[in-house]
């Protein structure tokens, strides 16, 4: 079925792997044309690599019962060598007693696709399942957990991604994150806006990557971000991150990082995520900073827009602007009139 799904996978940017051909047929009939079947065979290295070459996101669909979780565990064991920046492996667990064929027949293709944002990153499932098997409150069990996690992570070929995962394992065990950089000579401030240092948009992106689920981001006027693309490259990455979240709700930090990595922003975003793996108090302070940061970004964007329109007037009105600039002014004016109604 890979040949027939290739165009759908290219368009969707993902592959959905289900158990049987009947599931694939029903999904394709419902318009979900990026589905392929495992046909009862175990997912091996060559199959996983082939699927990742077809699309950067691989969704594995399982039943939500014990057998489904066991199958997911076996599939995840194949994953480490294939995980790298720009690739996203997620697991979708269906309600008990349902398979893709029955769910689509009963509820429709739209209902099935509405479940896709609930799919979990493979590393989240792996660590959760490993925690379920080991009591981290007991020192000997914690040691077994660490051994198993490190055996898994040392197979991740991407050093950046491996370090991200290692930090998570350290924090789950209550251990200090592994230090990779020389400590700062100046004490760290309780605020994260760093006036005169880190750009405002870099601060916003840093907070967004760590807390993508915070509702305060909905107030950020992302339509105005293009006004500052030429002044701050972080504004463009921030806009792309917000666009991703607008189209895919309930993304975790890891998922958002992976999506941005597909857009070639892995290095910039990795530094921001890694710099904020602090203690619980620091995380609370960061979260409190979000609303204020959004307000400052909106102020900066409004000022940039005013400057843009003033420049247009000074240069002889809209006729002095490029076609793209005129279209932007007209679009924003229409939006403002609509909001005033």
Does some domain include residue 182? no
Alpha-carbon distance of 130 to 123, in angstroms, equals: 10
pLDDT at 113 over 80: yes
Does some domain include residue 187? no
Same domain, 12 and 44: yes
Categorize the per-residue pLDDT at 150 as very low, low, confident or very high, splitting at 50, 70 and 90.
Answer: very high
Quote the pLDDT of residue 197: 40
Same domain, 57 and 151: no
Same domain, 48 and 100: yes
Does some domain include residue 36? yes
Same domain, 16 and 89: yes
Does some domain include residue 250? yes
Same domain, 230 and 322: yes
Q: Looking at residues 284-303, what average pLDDT do you find?
A: 85
Dmax of the chain from CA atoms?
Answer: 75
If you average pLDDT over each of 141-145, 245-249, 251-255, which comes out highest? Answer: 141-145
Same domain, 118 and 157: no
CA atoms within 13 A on the CB side of 42: 11
Quote the pLDDT of residue 181: 45
Does some domain include residue 156? yes
Categorize the per-residue pLDDT at 176 as very low, low, confident or very high, splitting at 50, 70 and 90.
Answer: low
Taking a C-beta distance cutoff of 8 angstroms, is the pair 215, 294 a contact? no
Instruction: Name the CA radius of gyration of the chain, rounded.
Output: 23
- Domain containing residue 218: CATH number: 1.10.860
Same domain, 293 and 334: yes
Taking a C-beta distance cutoff of 8 angstroms, is the pair 72, 125 a contact? yes
Question: Among residues 37, 42, 34, which one has the least CA distance to residue 22?
Answer: 37
Note down the domain range covering 147.
134-172
Same domain, 266 and 333: yes
Does some domain include residue 191? no
Categorize the per-residue pLDDT at 118 as very low, low, confident or very high, splitting at 50, 70 and 90.
Answer: confident
Taking a C-beta distance cutoff of 8 angstroms, is the pair 236, 299 a contact? no
Alpha-carbon distance of 222 to 253, in angstroms, equals: 19
Does some domain include residue 189? no
- C-alpha torsion 90→156→141→255, nearest 10: -30
Same domain, 205 and 156: no
pLDDT digits (tens, 9 = 90+) for 50-73: 898 888 899 999 988 888 889 899
pLDDT digits (tens, 9 = 90+) for 72-85: 999 999 999 998 87
Same domain, 212 and 318: yes
Same domain, 60 and 113: yes
Taking a C-beta distance cutoff of 8 angstroms, is the pair 12, 55 a contact? yes
Question: Among residues 88, 127, 118, 129, which one has the least CA distance to residue 255?
Answer: 88
- The DSSP 8-state label assigned to residue 156 in this structure reads -
Does some domain include residue 181? no
Percent pLDDT > 70 in the chain is 75
Same domain, 167 and 281: no
The number of distinct structural domains making up the chain is 3
Q: Looking at residues 246-260, what average pLDDT do you find?
A: 73
Question: Among residues 201, 271, 259, which one has the least CA distance to residue 229?
Answer: 201
pLDDT at 277 over 80: no
Categorize the per-residue pLDDT at 94 as very low, low, confident or very high, splitting at 50, 70 and 90.
Answer: very high
Tokens of 22: 């009947």
- Domain containing residue 16: CATH number: 3.40.1360.10
């Amino acid at each position: 079925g890979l040949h027939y799904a290739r165009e759908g996978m290219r368009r969707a940017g993902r592959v959905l792997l289900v158990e049987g051909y009947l599931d694939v047929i029903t999904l394709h009939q419902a318009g979900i044309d990026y589905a392929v079947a495992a046909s009862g065979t175990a997912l091996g290295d060559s199959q996983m690599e082939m699927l990742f070459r077809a699309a950067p996101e691989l969704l594995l669909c399982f039943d939500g019962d014990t057998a489904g979780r066991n199958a997911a565990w076996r599939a995840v064991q194949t994953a480490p060598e294939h995980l790298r920046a720009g690739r996203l492996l997620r697991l979708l667990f269906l309600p008990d007693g349902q398979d893709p064929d029955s769910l689509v027949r009963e509820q429709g293709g739209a209902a099935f696709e509405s479940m896709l944002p609930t799919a979990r990153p493979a590393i989240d499932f792996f660590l959760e399942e490993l925690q379920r098997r080991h009591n981290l409150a007991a020192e000997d069990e914690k040691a077994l957990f660490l051994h198993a996690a490190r055996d898994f992570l040392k197979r991740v070929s991407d050093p950046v991604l491996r370090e991200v995962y290692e930090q998570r394992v350290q924090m789950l065990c209550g251990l200090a994150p592994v230090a990779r950089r020389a400590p700062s000579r100046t004490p760290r401030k309780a605020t994260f806006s760093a006036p005169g240092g880190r750009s405002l948009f870099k601060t916003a992106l840093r907070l967004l990557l760590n807390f993508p689920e915070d509702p305060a981001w909905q107030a950020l006027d992302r339509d105005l971000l293009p006004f500052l693309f030429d002044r701050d490259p972080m504004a463009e990455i921030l806009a792309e991150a917000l666009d991703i979240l607008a189209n895919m709700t309930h993304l975790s930090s890891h998922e958002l990082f992976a999506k941005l990595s597909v857009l070639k922003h892995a290095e910039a975003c990795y530094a921001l995520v890694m710099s904020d793996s602090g203690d619980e108090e620091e995380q609370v302070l960061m979260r409190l900073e979000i609303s204020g940061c959004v307000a400052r970004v909106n102020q900066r964007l409004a000022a940039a827009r005013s400057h843009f329109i003033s420049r247009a007037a000074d240069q002889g009105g809209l006729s002095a602007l490029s076609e793209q600039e005129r279209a932007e002014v007209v679009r924003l004016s229409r939006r403002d009139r609509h909001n005033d109604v």
